[in-house]
Amino acid sequence: MKKFIETLKNIWSVEDLRTRILFTLAFAAVYRFGSFVVLPGINPDALAKLHEQTNTGLMSLLNMFSGGAFSNASIFALGIMPYISASIVIQLFAFVVPYFQKMQREGESGRRKMNQYTRWLTIFILLFQAPSYLINLKMQAAGALNSQLDWTLFMFASTIILAAGSMFILWIGERITDKGIGNGVSLIIMLGIIARLPQAFGQEFVTRLNNLSGGGMIMFVIELILLLAVVCAAIMLVQGTRKIPVQYAKRMYAGQQVGGSRQYIPLKVFAANVMPIIFAQAIMFIPITLMGVISGGENPSALLIQLSDHTSIAYNLIFALLIIAFTYFYTAITLNPVQMAEDMKRNNGFIPGVRPGHDTAEYIDQIMSHITLPGSLFLAAIACMPAFAGLLNVSQEFAQFFGGTSLLILVGVVLDTLQQIESHLLMRHYDGLLSSGRIHGRAGMVH
């Protein structure tokens, strides 16, 4: 406790770090406040049916990602997920389309152009997703609409408001990234998840408390122990590394002999962090937000029913495959073995027993493939755990934190944010947040 209090004092004494944290908290408060600002013309007291719809199935997960704004018919109802979907498309283009590949190699100017394309694509997605949300709102909460409203005018105005709300959230995220602590977009997703945690925890506790004769509290303790075990496993996954030894040959520089040292390249077991699960979840939201919502839930196909149920076999199988695929994809665009091999060769470095150049690049690529596979499988298994939590009769809201997308995002974003705070402290010669060693995170979240 003494160490913790001393660390808090150190954080507060660093003016730049204090300013960044206060800035982040201020914008987080703005985001949470906006989640309760209802669309003009909507009676919030008549949204009971919409709340009921978002309490079960995939809709509940979508509502959690928006921090409850979806079920509140808020101006932030669509959240940040349209931007995530646009980011997926643009990053895929950068991987397969020559024009975007060239743009990616242009450095900072190319990155700005790609960000601009991502924003335009986000607006395009919003212009389709907003009317879908409003049509569903009309079917689920017709009594919430002012009877004197002109539906066409309401659709037009609310579409603009919803699109502007999501773009404002994106702006908040970018400001947090630039002037705050952590990655803004990822923090916004985390805020939505945390906002639902107390309610989910309380409901599960009350449910188990009402079943004392059936061993309810014993099951609750077992759930907490298993949840703690999954959290520890997720932390180990995010922080795990495989070190490759690199020998630097001796050479003459300015008349002096330098080099000759041995260093290590720390390759993360899970270099992609939580991005694969965020991307995969965004893809899994597409059927329910576009197809299901537009149809209003009337006579949906059997496949749509399966894809709308996050406990179904079809949903979890596709979800797991997407996570594995995105893990390999994001690792490939994050780490470049060829560039790493060239950098080592340029600095007279080599991996013992491996020839410099092409052989070194192949060796690093092989190592990355070997450590990425178990990491992706483990990530997919944790992501699908909420479906198995149902076997323990865990309530649906609490099951979303029992492993799954929510837990992995929370762990990844918290570790990444703590790593940034620790970096600020270490730069000013203060002790880090943990006395046992550095926090290993990765800042490469959504940009």
What does 50-114 look like in DSSP terms, one character per residue?
Answer: HHHHTTSHHHHHHHHHTTTTTTTTBTTTTTTHHHHHHHHHHHHHHHH-HHHHHHHTTTHHHHHHH
68 domain residue, yes or no: yes
pLDDT value of residue 110? 83
**DSSP structural state of residue 312:** S
Q: How confident is the model at residue 124 (pLDDT cuts 50, 70, 90)?
A: very high
Mean pLDDT of the chain: 78
How far apart are alpha carbons 442 and 271 in whole angstroms?
8
Higher-confidence position of 34 and 206 = 34
Coil vs helix vs strand at 270: coil
437 domain residue, yes or no: no
Helix or strand holding residue 266 (H, E): strand 262-268
How far apart are alpha carbons 390 and 388 in whole angstroms?
5
Orientation angle between helical segments 184-209 and 57-65, nearest 10 degrees: 130
pLDDT value of residue 229? 80
Structure tokens belonging to residue 31: 């985001």
Cβ distance 386 to 400 under 8 Å? yes
CA 115 to chain CA mean position, Å: 18
Q: Cα–Cα distances in Å, from 132 out to 61, 127, 136, 288, 309? A: 18, 9, 6, 10, 19
How far apart are alpha carbons 288 and 305 in whole angstroms?
9
Higher-confidence position of 215 and 79 = 79
443 domain residue, yes or no: no
Query: What phi, psi does 180 have (nearest 5°)?
Result: -115, -150
**DSSP structural state of residue 194:** H
pLDDT value of residue 242? 64
438 domain residue, yes or no: no
397 domain residue, yes or no: yes
Q: Which of 260-274, 407-421, 431-445 has the lowest mean pLDDT?
A: 431-445
Higher-confidence position of 244 and 222 = 222
Question: Which residues lie below 8 Å from residue 210, measured CB to CB, with a gap of 6+?
Answer: 216
CATH number for 336:
1.10.3370.10
Compute the average pLDDT of residues 103-132. Answer: 88
204 domain residue, yes or no: yes
Compute the average pLDDT of residues 107-115. Answer: 85
Predicted TM-score (pTM) of the model is: 0.77
pLDDT value of residue 214? 67
pLDDT value of residue 15? 83
- Does residue 90 surpass a pLDDT of 80? yes
Sign of dihedral through CA atoms 59, 65, 69, 72? positive
Coil vs helix vs strand at 274: coil
For residue range 286-334, what is the model confidence (pLDDT) as tens digits? 777 655 454 555 566 677 777 777 778 888 898 889 988 888 888 877 7
446 domain residue, yes or no: no
Burial of 98 (C-beta count, 10 Å sphere; 0-12/13-18/19+): exposed
- Does residue 118 surpass a pLDDT of 50? yes
Write out the residue range of the structural domain in which residue 317 sits. 2-427
CB neighbours of residue 143 within 10 Å: 12
How far apart are alpha carbons 224 and 389 in whole angstroms?
12
Compute the average pLDDT of residues 130-142. Answer: 80
**Residues 29, 35, 39, 45: what is their CA dihedral angle, to the nearest 10 degrees?**
-120
For residue range 17-74, what is the model confidence (pLDDT) as tens digits? 888 999 999 999 999 999 888 888 888 877 777 777 777 667 777 777 787 888 888 9
pLDDT value of residue 244? 65
- Does residue 147 surpass a pLDDT of 80? no
Give the number of domains in the chain: 1
Structure tokens belonging to residue 62: 């979508």
188 domain residue, yes or no: yes
